[in-house]
Amino acid sequence: MGKFKLFWKDNGIGYLFLTPWLIGILTLTAIPMGASLYFSFTSYDMFNAPTWIGFDNYTSLFSDPKWLQSVKVTVIYVFFGVPLQLAFALFIAVLLNKGIGGLRVYRAVYYVPSLFGGSVAIAILWRQIFGGNGLVNNILGKFGIDGINWISTPSTALYTLIILMVWQFGASMVIFLAGLKQVPIELYESAKIDGAGPMKQFFKITLPLITPVVFFNLVMGIIGAFQAFTPAYIVSGGTGGPLNSTLFYTLYLYQKGFTQFAMGYASAMAWVLLIVIAIATAIVFATSKKWVYYQG
């Protein structure tokens, strides 16, 4: 008892301040995750008591053509969207790092899409821009080109969402810009004396020294892309169309859980997604030893 009093005297106030967080992590994260894991092994429709069915939900996934399509769509979205977004964010950050006037204004303007990019309003706007009578086709019409309905065409619908993802480059750009500010200017001056041009300076000095920032943005980008939901939901009207070409994994999960009420199946999907994200993140961490440079 004496040890407890001593422990409480030294740490009690800290734990009191942590209490709201502990309650939140238990009630909003830990307990729901535990319930989801249990439901993933059951047949549960939210109206009747769950029935234990073992691994049936997990094995059924691989014979579900819509699940396989959602995996394909999401992988394409991640594979193309994340690198393009990071490349564009780095390109803009390098331009803004050239010491131009009004840097704070430019930085704020470029960051705005990241604030609103995932909103319902922007997704609706995107649907109008790439629609049959949208802005893109109006511009193409000025050059005598007949455009298509980019949103309603299966071969192009997904790529309009990838463009939307790239457009939300602001957060990554700000982080890249902060990393670029940390590169010693003396290195560039020495490289210039040795005759190195801008491209050589970028690939030999800038890029190696900001690889920790690239690593961070890559991990966060992969996690965010796998969980993308709003753009596909709004643009397709919640269907994942046309012909399931925008059926993101999270959108199909939503359909199974909250429109078909197959909550056990949806829970299994959620845990598979968690495992996939964990594996993808682990691969990036494992390979980072070969390409991420930390200054000593």
Q: Where are the alpha helices (H) located in 40-169, listed in sequence order?
A: 56-61, 65-96, 103-116, 120-129, 135-142, 154-167
User: Quick one: what percent of the chain has pLDDT higher than 90?
Assistant: 56
Name the pLDDT band for 213 (thresholds 50, 70, 90): very high
Q: What are the residues facing 42 on neighbouring strands?
A: 52
Domains of the chain, residue spans: 58-289
DSSP state of 203: I
Quick: pLDDT tens for 40-84. Answer: 999 999 899 999 999 999 999 999 999 999 999 999 999 999 999
CATH class as words, domain 58-289: mainly alpha
173 and 93 Cβ atoms separated by less than 8 Å: yes
State the pTM of this model. 0.89
Between CA 205 and CA 57 the distance in angstroms is: 50
pLDDT digits (tens, 9 = 90+) for 137-189: 888 888 888 888 898 899 999 999 999 899 888 889 989 989 998 898 898 88
Token pair for 10: 């030294």
Q: For residue 81, what are the contacts with CB-CB under 8 A and spacing of at least 6?
A: 161, 162, 165, 166, 225
Position with higher pLDDT, 188 vs 254? 254
Both structure tokens of 84: 């393009």
Q: What is the pLDDT of residues 215-224, one digit of tens each?
A: 999 999 999 9
> What are 25's two structure tokens?
């992590």
